Structure 1
């Protein structure tokens, strides 16, 4: 038995032209940490609901690894987070994931992502979002995908618009001790603006793992 048998998310792979979404197993974590330490966003801004990039540089690698170990240990068919490393033209550039609760009932997941700052502005985030949304709709029978971004994060909101998400209300959230407005977003299969066709490996075992197939 290998790890992909014990934990089928490790067997997933999504390819879309020069972009690959590969599972964040331990062998990928060091490369992602290097991207994070080189910078993810302007330090004066905070694009994330949980300010994980505010951690001191000497603590961030440990906290980053612990987060990914934790998402695996807490996995259940009722509540799971699937995190992929984003590889573009052979280089690890960031992460794209989806989180969900009661997926077998709701058929809904929430996307989230980040890219190293030096990789911004090249369309990689749009490609990654298109790939994971196509995967969710076409291979996991999703009926809706949600996302969100603070209203002072125009780059993330622009990616969502390009992919086809529509506004779905706002919410006031605490951010670094101050209120901030979060724009909620919603995407349905017929609204997805597709990118390059995707090729998926390992989905049959994953569907069984989350209870979609017997």
Structure 2
């Protein structure tokens, strides 16, 4: 069983563990966060919470029954009733529908709790799993993009009321 929760200060230790344990796995499909991310994690976490409190972003973690983080699902750059979606799922949870479920739940929150009407998301062409998650969660490809120099697809999902 898992639970999607809004990011809080108490998630910091589990979130840091999640990022460390999955660093090499994530680096296969997205740019590495770099050593500074881990060295400055506490300050970075506090800054994210401040940004969330100001309403510019909505950060979420999917946690298991033991409080361990299975994934992150974030809505960033909130403006004009829209936001950009980003997510990552632990290697141990990959291939089990966790990403699709989490993305769908965040889409519902975006519409119902945050009053958003439109989400955008992008994935690189060499990340077919992420492209499939977006498709299963109701996103439509709208154009090609470069993500850190790698070709990708930009997607949109309109959030009907």
Q: Give the TM-score normalised by the residue count of structure 2.
A: 0.85
Answer with 1 or 2: which has the greater Rg.
1
2:67 is the counterpart of 1:84: no
| Structure 1 unmatched ranges of 5 or more | 1-17, 193-214
2:128 is the counterpart of 1:184: no
Judge conservation of contact 1:85–1:96 (CA < 8 Å) in 2: yes
One of 113, 137, 143 as aligned partner of 2:117: 143
**What are the within-5 Å matches in structure 2 for residues 64-75 of structure 1?**
64-74=41-51
Could you tell me which residue of structure 2 aligns to residue 23 of structure 1?
Answer: 6
Judge conservation of contact 1:21–1:87 (CA < 8 Å) in 2: yes
Cα distance in 2 for residues equivalent to 1:141 and 1:185: 20
Stretch moving more, 159-168 or 21-30: 21-30
How many residues matched?
160
Task: Give deviations 1:3-32, integer Å, cap 9, x for gaps.
Answer: xxxxxxxxxxxxxxx332222222211111
Could you tell me which residue of structure 1 aligns to residue 21 of structure 2?
Answer: 38
Could you tell me which residue of structure 1 aligns to residue 88 of structure 2?
Answer: 114
2:127 is the counterpart of 1:153: yes
Residue 183 of structure 1, CA deviation:
0.9
The 1:44–1:140 alpha-carbon spacing in structure 2 relative to 1, beyond 3 Å, is: closer
Cα distance in 2 for residues equivalent to 1:162 and 1:116: 19
**What are the within-5 Å matches in structure 2 for residues 161-176 of structure 1?**
161-173=135-147, 175=148
**What are the within-5 Å matches in structure 2 for residues 92-103 of structure 1?**
92-102=69-79
SS of structure 1 residue aligned to 2:155: strand
Cα distance in 1 for residues equivalent to 2:129 and 2:24: 11
Judge conservation of contact 2:73–2:103 (CA < 8 Å) in 1: yes
Cα distance in 1 for residues equivalent to 2:30 and 2:59: 18
| Structure 2 unmatched ranges of 5 or more | none
SS of structure 1 residue aligned to 2:8: coil
SS of structure 2 residue aligned to 1:42: helix
The 1:129–1:82 alpha-carbon spacing in structure 2 relative to 1, beyond 3 Å, is: same
